[in-house]
Amino acid sequence: QSALTQPASVSGSPGQSITISCTGTSSDVGAYNLVSWYQQHPAKAPRLMIYEVSKRPSGVSDRFSGSKSGNTASLTISGLQAEDEADYYCCSYAGSDTYVFGTGTKGTVL
Amino acid sequence: EVQLVESGGGVVQPGGSLRLSCAASGFTFSSYNMHWVRQAPGQGLVWVSRITSDGSSTSYADSVKGRFTISRDDAKNTLYLQMNSLRAEDTAVYYCAKYYGAGTYCLDYWGRGTLVTVSS
């Protein structure tokens, strides 16, 4: 149950796009199309942004999109806005009714 | 409106025990799997445990297996986490979270968390 690997930080200017990677193994990310992404603002509870690799829950902006290739999933935020500055975590089902989160990425809007 | 409110956190000595509660409202609690996730100060999210909607199946992270027990009381719409043999590394904010729905394997509502500090 090792944490999925994410870059510590990613930054972009308003209006630009950023992509956050999430690398796991053939036992978690690579094995299931069950990757989700969460946004967390300081001292706040996480918020679900993407589930099942690329689906958006109701109320989440279409500026957020997800994809996966092999053992690596990605979250892309397009048209970057100030309120997108937050920490982002990926999460994957890891089999046997267990889950694993990523190490987290600090998203910065320059 | 879905609400999850955790309680029961506090300061406990190494080796001690604590029971966390999560009061749920705004949805049919008995129909959903529920999870606990923790976050050490300044660190990332870590999945801790899950219980099925009917309480018949539980699962745990290796780091807490044998020490923590998840349970639920559907009559009280409450989720619990019994934590025994606590260690310094268990210090974290503990969140309860609701499973989104069948086949999604993600968590759509989270509480605000309760802080557990393990220290002598």
Return per-residue pLDDT of chain B as tens, 120 residues. Answer: 999 999 999 999 999 999 999 999 999 999 999 999 999 999 999 999 999 999 999 999 999 999 999 999 999 999 999 999 999 999 999 999 999 987 889 999 999 999 999 999
Distances (CA, A) of B92 to A13, A106, B86: 33, 19, 12
- Test A45 with B95 for CB contact under 8 angstroms: yes
- The residues near A21 (Cβ < 8 Å, ≥ 6 apart) are A6, A7, A72, A73, A74
CA dist., res. A39 & res. B110, Å (int): 12
**Torsion angles phi and psi, residue B58, rounded to 5:** -130, 155
Question: Which residue in chain B has the smallest CA separation from A52?
Answer: B104
Question: Which residue in chain B has the smallest CA separation from A3?
Answer: B46
B21 burial (CB, 10 Å; 0-12 / 13-18 / 19+) is middle
Give the nearest partner residue to B110 out of A1, A32, A46, using CB atoms: A46
Q: Average pLDDT, stretch A33-59? A: 96
- Test B105 with A98 for CB contact under 8 angstroms: no
* DSSP-assigned beta bridge partners for residue B70: B81
Question: Which residue in chain B has the smallest CA separation from A104?
Answer: B44
CA dist., res. B42 & res. B27, Å (int): 31
DSSP B4-72: EEEE--EEE-TT--EEEEEEEESS-GGGS-EEEEEE-TTS-EEEEEEE-TTSS-EEE-TTTTTTEEEEE
Give the nearest partner residue to A96 out of B59, B104, B108, using CB atoms: B59
CB B48 within 8 A of CB B81: yes
Task: Decide if A38 touches B, using CB distance below 8 A.
Answer: yes
Measured at the CA of B27, the angle between CA B21 and CA B31, to 5 degrees, comes to 85
What pLDDT does A1 receive?
77
Min CA distance, A10 vs chain B (Å)? 16
- Test B47 with A104 for CB contact under 8 angstroms: no
The separation between CA A17 and the C-alpha centre of its own chain, rounded to angstroms, equals: 14
Name the average pLDDT for chain A. 96
